[in-house]
Amino acid sequence: MVCPQLRTRSIPFVTLALAALLVSCGPLRAAESEPPIDAMRGRELMQRSARGEALTAEESAYLERVKREIRRRAAGKKGPIPPGGPQRQVVVSTNDWSALVPITDMTAPYKGEDGGLYGAGGNTPPEAHRVAYLKESEKIRPLDVGGRASGDGKIGLITIGFSNPSIESEDFKRAADADAQKSPHVIIVNGCMGGRSAVMWAWDGADVLPGAERERLDREMDLLGMPKENRRTAAGVARDTWPTLAKRIETAGLAPAQVQACWLKHVEANPKPLGEFPAHARALQADIAAILQIARHHYPNLRVVVLSSRTFGGWSGRQSGSPEPYAYESGFATRWLVQAQIRGDAALNFDPARGEVKAPLVLWGPYLWACGNSPRKLDGLTWTQNDVRSDQLHPNENGCKKTTTLLLNFFMSDAGARKWFVKP
């Protein structure tokens, strides 16, 4: 990478601010009518949020209360702090990404690949796949715990991914649940986990995959140095991703048979050992295909998975965070996966008329990548340093709102998604 390795803080700004304010000002009290804030709990929630872990609605509200008080006290000392905390404006080299063009905008090939989310310059699915998607969407309906149609049943919409989509999923869920247009039958579950890349999700559930695929994943885990044990998670098991997802689904009041749709956004952490493009993107494609097969095994009524590739990754320069051009190139992994299903890959078959069903139907949802400060032609989207946290890697409030807006627009307006996501 040409970009220098940037030294980032190991402790989030708001955690340091909390510690400083506790020393200088004593216990935090957001308002006279509210009980004092538990500083230890506030620090724990901040640290969990910084790691990308999902918080409950009550925990999120408590954390916002802590942040508001920190900002109020800090404003009295040093002036107001912008939403999401102050942003370090780090000077980085643009040599690795300044010439990259969003896949949606491409008019010239990139390393042999043409433009368009679906290839050949097209950003909408081919007609046959579009029709198939609409048919699968029509089958998504409120179900009871046994998977039978029910007027008071539920539609489980889960998310799967790493830390960034975990943070984004929480914001999306809050916004969607507060939207009067969303169907009350739709239950959104943030299943993403911080620090859990695509290969880890695939390796964790590989017991339902063919032997050759299990061996491939085991080699890739070792190549990337991914932890197989001692992950220090609340799940208490080594292969923690799928058990954690299952627990969150249960906590949300859903049965596995009610899970019918998914938003998936994934990446490989530190992809450099996988090789230069297209090698690292091909590995990601294979890992996401494995995740889809595992998900379909656990959730037999999972019919549609909406895919997004990574947002811009150029500000941090950290290898662990899939920097540019790896973040950009991961978009081709998503495209190849969709194209493989369209071509009739048996490992991704969703149609029982064509044989054993191995995966849900997949298609592009919102394409999230834009080249830093440069607005993309599709809609003017940018990803500036004001859209990331002080670590330059994870989205802050501004960044989350951008993703949430695109996701809500998709589920509210897409011809297939709105059939079940929007209130009748």
φ, ψ at 116 (rounded to 5°):
95, 135
**pLDDT score at 308:** 98
Domains defined for the chain, CATH in brackets: 13-78 (no CATH), 127-421 (3.40.50.1110)
**pLDDT score at 52:** 58
**pLDDT score at 80:** 42
CA distance 319 to 186: 37
**pLDDT score at 316:** 84
In the chain, which residues have pLDDT < 50?
A: 1-33, 77-90
Residues 274, 280: contact at Cβ < 8 Å? yes
**pLDDT score at 82:** 42
Which among 413, 306, 414, 398 has a CA at the least distance from the CA of 360? 306
**pLDDT score at 321:** 75
Within 8 A by CB and 6+ apart from 411, the residues are 176, 417, 418, 421, 422
**pLDDT score at 70:** 67
**11-36 residue pLDDT tens:** 333 443 444 333 333 444 444 445 66
Residues 224, 273: contact at Cβ < 8 Å? yes
CA distance 414 to 417: 5
**pLDDT score at 97:** 87
C-alpha R_g of the chain: 21
**pLDDT score at 120:** 96
Q: For residue 196, with 0-12 CB atoms within 10 Å meaning exposed, 13-18 middle and 19 or more buried, which class applies?
A: buried
Residues 339, 282: contact at Cβ < 8 Å? no
Predicted structure pTM score = 0.80
Place of tokens 């530190």: 270
Residues 293, 305: contact at Cβ < 8 Å? no
**pLDDT score at 322:** 85
